[in-house]
Structure 1
Amino acid sequence: MSQLTTSRVIRFSKATLMLFVSLFGLLMLYNNFTDYSTSYEYISHILSMDTTNGRKKYSYRAITSAMLHHRIYWLIITLEVVYTICCLLGTYYLYKNINTSPEQFHEAKKPALIGLLIALFLYYVGFQVIGIEWFNMDESKTWNYKDRSQHIIDFIFPLLIYIAIKIER
């Protein structure tokens, strides 16, 4: 058994944290596929802007087509599939390269970084920027994903930085 060093603990922590975010992605996908209607209802209300303040003032922003609601929801699910696969691959490569050279371990981070960037795009750009700023999602008392997406971003963004920096030797 190799000696336990700070560098090995750092490498192990990076791989394990990627495992955590991969598990989150798998659970999100499971929920979206097994209970499609619940999350679809969220997306439908957010896009329709039917529970926000100032509906008349911002009604030109609303998307009321059920077909478009389904397509946008499937885009969200597709992004979740892609980031989860990338994160799972990243987790695998990080564990696989845990005892390799610093350069090999650093190169093994690519799928993990791509997955985290896609997840950040989805939850920050998709929900925080577009959902809140365009569709006024934060003004709805019932159909509001603001806090939940912020909690996800609060984990993913620091993780992205932690994975990217080359502090392990």
Structure 2
Amino acid sequence: MNKLTTASVIRRSKVIIVFTAALFGLTTLTNNLTDYAAYADFIGRVLSMNDTEGNDSRRYRAITSNIFHHRFYWAIISLEIIYTFSCLVGTYQLCRKIDAPRNEFHESKKFAIAGLVTGIFVYQALYIIILNEWFDMDYSAHRNTYDWAENNIAYMFLGLIYLTAVKDS
């Protein structure tokens, strides 16, 4: 597959999509680790339900333990490390097999798929379901990352569909 064909362009576009997810993960991890205090405070305020409005009947859900806040935040960071590392390895594997026969290229998608699925899990389960739905992050005027998480999920989900469903002969 040395010449420029539709199949070669599709394969290369898949590499770019997975690499872009990995680059986002690296950037997010850099922010989370270099400004740990600010992001840990954000997670703590959401879990404590400190600045949510109009939800007094649901305040029993609040968790005020600083230890739990940090553990929850480290769970997010740990899963982001897994998804980022998987996407980086997936990018490498896809690049290695870019000109390989179809079956070999298809088999090289494993880490990329695992990375994208882990990323979707992080943003859907931890941000949308737990922080937004359970801890009412959407009722906070100052601490709402719902749209941010939703955009990440959309990118990774569409990337996952494209990676696995579009023919790359």
| TM-score clears 0.5 | yes
Instruction: Write the distance in 2 (CA, Å) between the matches of 1:48 and 1:17.
Output: 36
Spell out, residue by residue over 1:142-161, the C-alpha distance to the aligned partner (whole angstroms, 9 max, x if none). Answer: 01111111111121110011
Alignment of 1:33-48 (within 5 A): 33-48=33-48
In the other structure, the counterpart of 1:15 is 15
Instruction: Write the distance in 1 (CA, Å) between the matches of 2:74 and 2:37.
Output: 12
Q: Does 1:160 align with 2:160?
A: yes
In the other structure, the counterpart of 2:129 is 129
In the other structure, the counterpart of 2:84 is 84
Count of paired positions: 169
Displacement over 4 Å in runs of 4+: none
For 1:76, the aligned partner's letter is I
Deviation at 1:166, TM superposition (A): 4.8
In the other structure, the counterpart of 1:99 is 99
Instruction: Write the distance in 1 (CA, Å) between the matches of 2:119 and 2:27.
Output: 14
Q: Is the 8 A contact 2:2 2:99 kept in 1?
A: no
Instruction: Write the distance in 1 (CA, Å) between the matches of 2:44 and 2:165.
Output: 39
Deviation at 1:53, TM superposition (A): 2.1
In the other structure, the counterpart of 1:5 is 5
Q: Is the 8 A contact 2:83 2:118 kept in 1?
A: yes
Instruction: Write the distance in 1 (CA, Å) between the matches of 2:155 and 2:79.
Output: 18
Alignment RMSD (CA, Å): 1.2
Given the two structures, how large is their TM-score scaled by the length of structure 2?
A: 0.96
Instruction: Write the distance in 2 (CA, Å) between the matches of 1:66 and 1:56.
Output: 21
